[in-house]
Amino acid sequence: MERRKLHPQGPTFSRIIAGAWRWHTVSPETVERLALVALEQGITSFDHADIYGDHSNEETFGQVLSRNPSLRNKIELITKCDIKFQSSKRPATWVKHYDTSKEHIIWSVENSLKMFHTDRLDLLLIHRPDPLMDPHQVEDAFNQLKKEGKVLHFGVSNFTTSQFRMLQKHLPLPLVTNQIEISLSRLDPFFNGDLDLMLELDVSPMAWSPLGGGKLLVDEREMFGKAIKYSASYSQLALAWLLKHPSKIFPVIGTTQPDRIKEAAKSVDIQLDRQDWFEMLKWVMGQEMP
Q: Give the residue numbers marked as catalytic.
A: 52
Q: Which of 2, 7, 79 lies closest to 44 in space, CA to CA?
A: 2
Q: Where are the alpha helices (DSSP H) in the chain?
A: 28-40, 52-55, 57-67, 102-116, 135-147, 161-170, 188-191, 194-201, 220-230, 234-243, 258-265, 274-285
Torsion angle defined by CA atoms of residues 24, 37, 72 and 13, in that order, rounded to the nearest 10 degrees: -100
- Within 8 A by CB and 6+ apart from 237, the residues are 223, 226, 227, 230, 267, 270, 272, 280
Give the span between the Cα atoms of 194 and 183, in whole angstroms. Answer: 13
DSSP reduced 3-state for 208: strand
Phi, psi of 91 (to 5 degrees): -65, -15
